[in-house]
Amino acid sequence: MRYVEASDLKDLVLLGGGHSHVGVLRRIGARPLPGVRLTVICRDVRTAYSGMLPGLIAGHYAFDDAHIALEPLCRFAGARLYCDEAIALDLAERKVVCQSGPPIRYDLLSINIGSTPGTSAVPGADGSVVPVKPIQKFIARWEALCQRVLSRESPMRIGVVGAGAGGVEILLAVQFGLGKLLAAQGRSADHLHYYLFTNTGRILPTYNERTRRIFERILAQRRVRVVTGQAVVEVADGRLRCADGGEYALDEILWATAASAAGWLARSGLAVDEKGFVEVSDTLQSISHSNVFAVGDIASLVDHPRPKSGVFAVRQSKALERNLRRALAGRTLAPFRPQRHSLSLISTGDRYAIAARNGWALEGRLLWRWKDWIDRRFIRTFSELPNSPARSG
């Protein structure tokens, strides 16, 4: 029998517990990686499944229903888990620099840290608005908002900035969730007023005409005031100012604008696109550092640009795991070919959903039940793990 020294092992580090990495861990648990020390660094030990976030806010799910616990998953995969936040990369020394713990060395690094809606371009927004990501912070602010609403009788105005699928879905979920909380106390929600702001001419700019019309109808029925074609240019003292000079007094401003990337990736010297996302080839490797992979929102596929979406992050998982295995074995990597289109299932808070793809859209309660089934099945893949945990090294 030959004992494996730690120095014989190759270090594979997964940075971030996003939608792709949880799938990689699940696969490595089922088929261990010999001769490899696997390490996961993640800010949160529970990884939020964004598809269920609106359902969590609307009150259809408990916290655990919509989160994947990383500890059992890492145990299953034979991985070490460091609960820490990466703040830089030392690409020459091949180390991840963390907020609290010592730097972590890697032979191969994969980055799946997601994105956040950018607030820094709008004066006054940083620190005063509530970005929908990171989701853990958003959930804490949501709980505080619920308490404020419950303890107040006077009118309240709630605005959401950003009318992509995330913004529209979260607004409708917030409206439903707060209405439900008030109804449980026998109170009406008529004193709550909702606003949706977008700098595009219509809501859901990347969706088809039929989907846009369905949501415009639903927002009108729910008495949401939609302000289109106006960039928000300033936030100050509970007021939001638009490019045309229009001002809106708001008690809570939720921020769901386009995704932005962590600035330290570019500062570390990785090749990034004009928005700061890590540029990767179709093997999912950084175009500047072949021992660094990136997937999910934080990656920018140079040959196949795609919108930022959890669906694409989930799909990259299998290709990433295959290429990490090949890279560790010194074999040729295989290209990842993303689908051009994907089906979107967007909920409206009240157990109702719209399915959209290419030029068509369908709506109904049955679609919500289908979405609910898909989402719960996805979470179960990670909560119901087989008994035999993998051993690394």
Tokens 């648990």 identify what position?
29
* Token pair of 257 as six digits: 């604008």
CB burial of residue 173 (10 Å; 0-12, 13-18, 19+): buried
Q: Does 60 bind ligand FAD (CB under 6 A)?
A: no
CB atoms within 10 A of CB 304: 16
Q: Residue 80 pairs with which residues in a beta bridge?
A: 39
**Which residues lie closer than 8 Å to 158 by C-beta, 6 or more apart?**
145, 174, 192, 193, 194, 195, 250, 251, 252, 254
Instruction: Pick the stretch among 18-26, 122-130, 195-203, 227-235 that binds ligand FAD (CB under 6 A).
Output: 18-26
* Token pair of 217 as six digits: 């109808």
CB of 237 to ligand FAD, least distance (A): 26
For the chain, the farthest-separated pair of C-alpha atoms sits apart, in whole angstroms, at 76
8 A C-beta contact, residue 230 and residue 242 = yes
Q: Does 67 bind ligand FAD (CB under 6 A)?
A: no
Q: Does 212 bind ligand FAD (CB under 6 A)?
A: no
Q: Does 50 bind ligand FAD (CB under 6 A)?
A: yes
d(CA 101, CA 41): 10
- 131: nearest Cα among 146, 113, 118, 145: 118
Over the window 233 to 272, marking each residue x when it contacts ligand FAD by CB under 6 A and - when it does not, the resulting string is -----------------------x-----x----------
With CB under 6 A as the contact rule, the residue among 37, 67, 133, 289 that binds ligand FAD is 133
Q: Does 65 bind ligand FAD (CB under 6 A)?
A: no
Instruction: Pick the stretch among 100-108, 267-275, 295-303, 385-393 that binds ligand FAD (CB under 6 A).
Output: 295-303
| Phi then psi dihedrals of residue 246, to 5 deg | -60, 135
Packed helices 19-30 and 365-383: angle between N→C axes, nearest 10 degrees: 50
Q: Does 20 bind ligand FAD (CB under 6 A)?
A: yes
d(CA 259, CA 248): 24
CB of 296 to ligand FAD, least distance (A): 2
Q: Residue 360 pairs with which residues in a beta bridge?
A: 357
| Phi then psi dihedrals of residue 382, to 5 deg | -105, -20
Q: Does 325 bind ligand FAD (CB under 6 A)?
A: no
Q: Scanning residues 78 to 107, which ones bind ligand FAD (CB under 6 A)?
A: 85-86
CB burial of residue 331 (10 Å; 0-12, 13-18, 19+): exposed
Q: Does 392 bind ligand FAD (CB under 6 A)?
A: no
Instruction: Pick the stretch among 35-43, 102-110, 143-151, 194-202 that binds ligand FAD (CB under 6 A).
Output: 35-43
CB of 306 to ligand FAD, least distance (A): 10
Q: Where are the beta strands (DSSP E) in 265-364?
A: 278-280, 292-294, 299-301, 344-347, 353-357, 360-364
With CB under 6 A as the contact rule, the residue among 29, 51, 78, 177 that binds ligand FAD is 51
CB atoms within 10 A of CB 65: 15
CB of 330 to ligand FAD, least distance (A): 28
* Token pair of 143 as six digits: 């709980």
With CB under 6 A as the contact rule, the residue among 311, 328, 362, 385 that binds ligand FAD is 311
CB of 197 to ligand FAD, least distance (A): 16
Instruction: Pick the stretch among 148-156, 234-242, 304-312, 377-385 that binds ligand FAD (CB under 6 A).
Output: 304-312
With CB under 6 A as the contact rule, the residue among 67, 168, 169, 261 that binds ligand FAD is 169
Q: Which is nearer to ligand FAD, 67 or 157 (CB)?
A: 67
Q: Does 16 bind ligand FAD (CB under 6 A)?
A: yes
Q: Scanning residues 110 to 129, which ones bind ligand FAD (CB under 6 A)?
A: 112-114
Total of chain residues touching ligand FAD, rule CB under 6 A: 35
Q: Does 355 bind ligand FAD (CB under 6 A)?
A: no
Instruction: Pick the stretch among 108-116, 152-160, 186-194, 197-205 that binds ligand FAD (CB under 6 A).
Output: 108-116
How long is the chain?
393
Q: Which is nearer to ligand FAD, 73 or 333 (CB)?
A: 73
d(CA 181, CA 175): 10
Q: Does 42 bind ligand FAD (CB under 6 A)?
A: yes
Tokens 């004066």 identify what position?
123
Q: Is 240 helix (H, G, I), strand (E, B) or coil?
A: strand
The site for ligand FAD (CB under 6 A) is made up of 15-20, 41-44, 47, 50-51, 53-54, 85-86, 112-114, 132-133, 166, 169-170, 256, 262, 296-298, 308-311, 313
